[in-house]
Amino acid sequence: MQRSKNDVWVGLFVMLGFAAVLFLALKSANLLQISWSADYKVSAKFDNIGGLKSGAAVKSAGVVVGRVDSIVFDDGAYQARVYLALDKRYAFPKDSSLKILTSGLLGEQYIGIEAGADDKFLVPGDKIGNTQSAVVLENLISQFLYNKAAEPSTSGTAPK
């Protein structure tokens, strides 16, 4: 009887350990979002979102103030519409601006929000118009190479 009682406790302990490891893995991969605070949803359009994904952080001054709720393609404007869930604790002016930024050189992308100076604050359902799209590394490299190729060659010839 004592052995089976110990087996049950060991089994429960092992299952608890698996649940904890699963929780940590999902949380570190940004696939699990648990929030007990209320939020409000706003949207914005971007020409290019790069590698931005649902669940990405929305940061202001380096502090996470919300998450990307969803991303859809607006086939009327041919732009990406990004829906943000901002924490109710943080109120941003209506003329705030959004940028898609990257953590480090090749890190994950997130949205940075810079507060404006308007007296009125964002409310649920508002659309933020002042946005800056993601900087795509491949586009920068190709633009650099194109500009280098367009420069006149000065190798081997002396000016006359």
Is the overall model pTM greater than 0.75, yes or no? no
Say which amino acid occupies 28: S
What's the pLDDT tens digit per position in 20-57?
998 888 777 666 666 666 889 999 999 989 888 988 88
> 154 pLDDT band (50/70/90 cuts)?
low
pLDDT at 30: 60
User: Amino acid letter at 10?
Assistant: V
**E strand spans, 39-118:** 39-46, 57-60, 63-74, 79-87, 97-102, 109-114
Q: Model confidence over 34-43: pLDDT tens digits?
A: 666 688 999 9
Question: Of the candidates 57, 20, 53, 16, which has an alpha carbon nearest to the alpha carbon of residue 35?
Answer: 57
Nearest to 45 by CA among 88, 2, 82, 8: 82
The predicted-structure confidence for 91-141, as pLDDT tens digits, reads as follows: 999 999 999 988 876 678 899 999 989 899 999 989 998 888 887 777 778
CB atoms near residue 119 (< 10 Å)? 7
φ, ψ for residue 147, nearest 5 deg: -65, -40
* Amino acid letter, residue 22: L
Q: Which of 54, 36, 30, 39 is nearest to 111 (CA)?
A: 54
pLDDT reported for residue 41 = 93
Output the pLDDT for position 36: 65
Q: Encode pLDDT of 55-100 as tens digits.
A: 888 999 989 999 999 999 989 889 999 999 999 999 999 999 999 9
Residue-level pLDDT at 120: 92
| Pair of tokens at residue 25 | 């893995």
